[in-house]
Amino acid sequence: MQFIYNKIFLKHEESKHPECPERLAYFNKDLKETKLENGEKYLNLVYNKGHIKLIEEHSKKELHLDEDTYANKYSYEAACCAAAASILAAKENNFALVRPPGHHATANKAMGFCLFNNIAIAVQNLVNRGKKVLIVDFDGHHGNGTQDIFYNSDKVLYLSTHQYPAYPGTGWLEEFGEGKGKGFTINIPMPPYTGDDSFLEILNELIPIVKKQFDPDVVAASAGFDAHHSDPLLQLNLTTNTFYETGRLLTKNFKNIFACLEGGYNLDFLHKNILDLVNGINKKPPQFPEQTTTSDIDVKNDFNIRIKLLKENLRNYWKL
């Protein structure tokens, strides 16, 4: 797995906002730019013309889409290039280092720092080509937009690990799909201060089950890193070790894996988390190991109660 990157992603910015160009500063020093096509043509895989025009106009006028989600005069171009980078990442099994992120954006609403849903665009393109796709979303916030877009699909299995309660307030255990998509959404809502041990235990249990029973053609990693213990926006307690082990787990079970950057707002740790995820996928040793964290007894008990309920909700769809 290699990185897809372009300096256009640095031009989407607003003063003092946590979703800032500095998130990619480490990579801007060393990475060669990837030549990207204009990704505007890919937006209609998920979005209608009216919504696309709305985002474009907000970008031209430098208006907010909501309290947290900004646009400047470069944002629409950056978002179109992010869509193109995500399509390319899916084609090449690479990591799209994109901004703005995407997993909160629904098919009709920009929110949570996200304008268009990058990973959903890339996944829908794969589905249109007859592929079954597993999305593993380990951003610390629930990817409500991705869930919403594929909630009725049996061609996409959406698996999300996230803090609950937290923004955006979705991702509880009763949300497991509708219609043909029943059972094809698996939410793992983690209580605050969940450590490496609990996270890796459930992921190591579920990933082989998904491999055997869903058998995806492609795995799409919605790669957010705000579950790291250093992150200012959440209260989870994961380390770089978890992202490395997640990479190892994915590459052990699947051949075709691509990733799109989502959240992660501690500027000292973001690049370390990204690099060690990719090291895990590439079967290389970790560069930035930390001391492993464990959930305290109350957190672990809460987590285990949630996992028991999760399995009860999904037992009609999967052999857990």
Q: Are 194 and 237 in contact (CB under 8 A)?
A: yes
| Tokens 């949630």, residue located | 306
Classify residue 237 by burial, with Cβ atoms within 10 Å: 0-12, 13-18, 19+: buried
CA distance 91 to 280: 20
Task: Enter the tokens of residue 103.
Answer: 């997993």
104 is catalytic: yes
Supply the DSSP symbol for 293: P
Supply the DSSP symbol for 304: H
DSSP E strand stretches across 75-231: 95-96, 133-137, 156-163, 185-190, 218-223
H/E stretch holding 83 reads helix 75-92
φ/ψ of residue 95, rounded to 5: -110, 115
In this structure, how many other beta carbons lie within 10 angstroms of the beta carbon of residue 240?
A: 25
Task: Enter the tokens of residue 238.
Answer: 């994961």
Alpha-carbon distances, residue 317 vs 216, 265, 313 (angstroms): 16, 36, 9
> Which residue in the list 12, 103, 104, 228 is annotated as catalytic?
104
Residues 6+ apart with CB under 8 A from 204: 249
CA distance 54 to 65: 9
Peptide bond before 208: cis, by omega within 30 degrees of 0? no
Rounded to an integer, what is the distance from CA 9 to the centroid of its chain? 17
Amino acid at 159: L
Active site residues: 104
